[in-house]
């Protein structure tokens, strides 16, 4: 025979698990929650939905340049290294990879036909920054990709963390494009491969951002000076690619580092788009000047 008082209120149950009796309530929404649903809060316990809602209202931490503080894994840096390594393996498998994708404004191909940017092969402006001199390709051989990938691994993660993924990737690609464009403007008949233009852009950005944040810039200045000396002293190096990348990377870094906080995001986007438009305009003007001949 039941001894329960029929007039007593029913025992509350968890709103997410109706079969579980509980006397604990969420301190935010006042709904009943069982031990499985309880999540500790500053005062009492909250339900999973209130905890998730509270997290949305918390401002995500950002770096001094406006990038979201993420997991710390430099995904873009590792991806760029991976692409360069895969491209290098392709070069080892076939000589056609370098011939078909290197940067050249105008040249004669294997079959005698004209090839290059002038002939509509715009992709060469980008693909060349992922290629490197193969071991049998000249005096630098495998040291070409080894140095560039070491430099990318050494300074890429720090820059990616400070800038955020989209800014870092934009800077890398536009610096690489800047190197190709300067070569195209000054010596369109020459060919070149390598991520060096993009790497020099990262060197310049590292210096600019280091100065802005009050960090040590001596080591990057030393590295940059040494590489500039090698660029102009050693025959066979495309100095245009290095200098073009350095100019573009440094200019973008100035826009990223010194934009006012209030309009920082808009200025970063505008600077990136403006740089891309400028480089495209230079390519079109140069192509128009070559095509009649």
Residues 6+ apart with CB under 8 A from 127: 101, 102, 103
Taking each helix axis from N to C end, the angle separating 143-163 and 75-93, rounded to the nearest 10 degrees, works out to 160
Q: List the structure tokens of 40.
A: 């500790």
The DSSP-derived string for 108-135 is: E-TTS-EESGGGT-TTHHHHGGG----T
Beta strands in 20-71 (DSSP E): 39-40, 45-46
Q: How many residues does the chain have?
A: 293
First to last CA, the chain: 107
Q: How far apart are CA 227 and CA 216, in angstroms?
A: 19
Q: Which of 183, 190, 157, 153 is closest to 248 using CA atoms?
A: 183
Q: How far apart are CA 91 and CA 114, in angstroms?
A: 22
Residues with catalytic roles: 196, 242
Q: How far apart are CA 241 and CA 179, in angstroms?
A: 4
At 259, is the secondary structure helix, strand, or coil? Answer: coil
Q: How far apart are CA 262 and CA 59, in angstroms?
A: 16
Q: How far apart are CA 210 and CA 222, in angstroms?
A: 14
């Amino acid at each position: 025979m039941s001894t329960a008082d029929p007039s007593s209120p029913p025992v509350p149950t968890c709103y997410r698990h109706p079969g579980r009796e509980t006397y604990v309530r969420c301190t935010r929404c006042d709904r009943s929650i069982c031990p499985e649903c309880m999540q500790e809060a500053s005062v009492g316990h909250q339900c999973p939905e209130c905890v998730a809602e509270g997290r949305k209202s918390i401002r995500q931490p950002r770096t001094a340049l406006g990038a979201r503080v993420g997991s710390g894994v430099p995904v873009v840096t590792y991806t760029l290294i991976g692409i360069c390594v895969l491209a290098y393996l392709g070069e080892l498998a076939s000589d056609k990879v370098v011939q078909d994708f290197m940067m050249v404004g105008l040249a004669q191909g294997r079959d005698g036909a004209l090839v290059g940017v002038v002939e509509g092969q715009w992709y060469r402006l980008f693909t060349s920054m992922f290629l490197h001199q193969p071991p049998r390709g000249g005096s630098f051989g495998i040291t070409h990709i080894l140095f560039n990938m070491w430099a990318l691994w050494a300074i890429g993660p720090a820059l990616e963390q400070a800038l955020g993924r989209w800014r870092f990737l934009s800077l890398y690609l536009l610096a690489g494009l800047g190197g190709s464009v300067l070569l195209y403007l000054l010596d369109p008949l020459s060919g070149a491969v390598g991520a060096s233009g993009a790497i020099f852009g990262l060197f310049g950005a590292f210096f600019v951002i280091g100065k802005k944040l009050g960090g040590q810039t001596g080591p990057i200045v030393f590295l940059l000076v040494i590489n500039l000396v090698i660029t102009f002293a050693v025959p066979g190096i495309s100095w245009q690619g290095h200098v073009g990348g350095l100019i573009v990377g440094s200019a973008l870094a100035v826009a990223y580092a010194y934009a006012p906080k209030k309009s920082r995001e808009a200025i970063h986007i505008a600077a990136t788009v403006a740089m891309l438009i400028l480089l495209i305009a230079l390519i079109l003007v140069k192509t128009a000047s070559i095509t009649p001949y």
